[in-house]
Homo-oligomer: A and B are copies of this chain.
Amino acid sequence: MPTNPPPHLSPRKRPRQARAAVTLDAIFEATIQVLVSDGPRRLTTTRVAERTGVSVGTMYQYFPHKQALFYALNERYLDIVAERVEDACRAQQGAEVAAMVEALVTAYWQVKTERAEVTRALYKSVVELDNEPLIEAFARRVDAATSTMLASASDADFADLPTVVLTLLTSIFGTVRSVFERNLPIEEADAVLRHLVLMCNAYIRTVKLPAECVTA
């Protein structure tokens, strides 16, 4: 949310009446549907409008151009994902690292899997716009959440927490993405997921400082 909205990509106007809010939601949903069924290259203002059951002009009342719509869609999506990860992190405050890592991987995987086609479609559509600010804001949020979670671990401390967090998140996100894009069969995907947890935990054991039993 605290993302500074790039001027040229910000929405044109906010809905003031109920029907407008409905229309806006419908536009987003239609965009996803077109993306999933027709692919990012066939994502067309006309097609989105048609799927929404609305005329093209209506779209242009809310977004100055196609990219802005796209940008807003990604913003929405990343917001959901970030929130989920933050929730998972909060729920593990003070727990043991192993549980934290498992929760982190699982939460991310779950939110990506719940609407797998949407995830895949959005992964593919990243090209269409310059969404680095979005990604960066997302990364910052998740990084912060993970950092405070790990810092609160009951059974571990780290010499270089920032690097550990960066490595952990980069590998988790990257691995999940690869699994999605390679379209692995469910059994293999599950196996990789389980082993990813093993891997991250093994990593944590390697980089955590030797235990000092009492700190207070």
Contact = CB atoms under 8 A, between A and B. Distances in A.
Interface of A: 40-41, 124-128, 132, 135-136, 139, 163-164, 166-167, 170-171, 173-179, 181-183, 188, 191-192, 195-196, 198-203, 205-207
A206 B200 contact: no
- Chain A contact residues: helix, strand, loop or mixed: helix
Contact of A178 (B40, B174, B191, B200): B174
Contacts of A126: 124, 181
Given A164-B195, A202-B205, A206-B202, A132 B183 contact: yes
20 contacts: A40-B127, A124-B127, A126-B181, A127-B128, A132-B183, A135-B181, A166-B191, A170-B178, A170-B179, A170-B192, A171-B171, A171-B175, A171-B178, A173-B174, A174-B178, A174-B179, A177-B177, A199-B203, A202-B203, A203-B203
A117 to B, nearest CB: 15
B195 A207 contact: yes
B192 A163 contact: yes
Nearest to A203: B199
